């Protein structure tokens, strides 16, 4: 019986580790290329709208090179750091680049994204539902683990709980009332082993 419980808890803990790793992967994995490209396209389009090119001004008989230069001029920002008066200059070229070469820039960026070498995770729109299912599966495993630990305590066998075990599972508490029902639990045994209660 003791060996069965020990082996059972070990097997469940292996499953817990696997599900926990999958949760971490779904949360932190890099986005698929198509999603990156969609974001780049939207950002470039918005950026292009920040720089106005009033080319009609060039139709004015008095217009000249100065008007064109003014249209293509971007504003820079300077900052002074410390006593050494180091000057940092920031010149945002995105707006004028997008206004003039938007489609070509987007194509170039898409090509660079396609050349990236990495393993993408699921699309961001699918992650909330996937995480919900995984967390439900993780809680179900932790409930099964806790039931077996309590069964072991009832026969005088101490199986230490994992440091990262969910306290709400140990206490049999679910604030959302949505945890899977995995058989009967022995809340008192989870706190006071039967062998020590006499």
Q: Are 43 and 110 found together in one domain?
A: yes
d(C-alpha 138, C-alpha 141), whole Å: 5
| Residues 11 and 76 grouped into a single domain | no
Q: Is residue 193 part of a domain?
A: yes
Ramachandran region, residue 93 (left: φ > 0; alpha: ψ -120 to 50; beta: rest): alpha
Let me know whether 144 and 176 are in one domain: yes
| Structural domain boundaries, residue 44 | 33-114
Domains contained in the chain, number:
2
Start-end of H helices in 53-170: 65-72, 94-114, 127-154, 167-170
Mark which of 114, 143, 164 sits at the end of a domain: 114
CB 197 within 8 A of CB 150: no
Tell me the C-alpha distance between 146 and 166, whole Å: 10
Residues 93 and 163 in one domain: no
- Cα dihedral sign for 111, 116, 120, 126? negative
Q: How far apart are CA 133 and CA 69, in angstroms?
A: 57
How many CB atoms are located within 10 Å of the residue 152 CB? 21
In a domain, 25, yes or no: no
Instruction: Please list the pLDDT of the chain residue by residue as tens digits (198 residues).
Output: 788 999 999 999 999 999 999 999 999 999 999 999 999 999 888 888 877 777 777 788 887 777 777 777 776 666 666 666 667 777 677 888 888 888 999 999 999 999 999 999 999 999 999 999 999 999 999 999 999 999 999 999 999 999 999 998 988 877 666 554 444 444 333 333 333 333
Q: Could you tell me if 88 and 142 lie in one domain?
A: no
In a domain, 110, yes or no: yes
Residues 159 and 91 in one domain: no
Give the ranges where 49-91 is alpha helix by DSSP (H).
65-72
Q: What's the pLDDT score for residue 189?
A: 37
Domain limit, last residue, from 91, 114, 137:
114
Of 89, 114, 139, the residue that ends a domain is 114
Q: Same domain for 146 and 192?
A: yes
Q: Please give the radius of gyration of the chain, using alpha carbons only, rounded to the nearest integer.
A: 31
119 lies in a domain?
Answer: no
pTM: 0.69
Please list, residue by residue across 6-26, b when 16 or more beta carbons sit within 10 angstroms of its beta carbon and e when fewer do. eebbeebeeebeebbeebeeb
With respect to residue 26, please indicate whether it lies within any of the assigned structural domains.
no
Query: Is residue 155 domain-resident?
Result: yes
């Amino acid at each position: 019986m003791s060996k069965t419980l020990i082996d059972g808890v070990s097997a469940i803990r292996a499953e817990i580790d696997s599900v926990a790793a999958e949760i971490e992967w779904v949360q932190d994995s890099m986005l698929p290329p198509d999603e990156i490209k969609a974001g780049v396209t939207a950002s470039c389009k918005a950026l292009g709208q920040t720089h106005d090119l009033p080319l009609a001004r060039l139709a004015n008989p008095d217009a000249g090179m100065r008007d064109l230069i003014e249209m293509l001029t971007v504003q820079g920002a300077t900052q002074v750091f410390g006593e050494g008066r180091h000057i940092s200059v920031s010149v945002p070229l995105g707006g004028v680049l997008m206004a003039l070469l938007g489609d070509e820039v987007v194509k170039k960026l898409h090509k660079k994204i396609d050349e990236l070498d990495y393993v993408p995770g699921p699309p961001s729109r699918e992650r909330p539902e996937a995480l919900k299912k995984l967390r439900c599966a993780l809680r179900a495993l932790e409930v099964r683990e806790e039931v077996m630990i309590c069964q072991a305590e009832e026969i005088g066998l101490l199986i230490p709980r994992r440091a990262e075990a969910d306290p709400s599972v140990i206490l049999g508490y679910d604030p959302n009332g949505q945890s899977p029902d995995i058989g009967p639990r022995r809340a008192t045994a989870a706190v006071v082993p039967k062998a020590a209660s006499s």
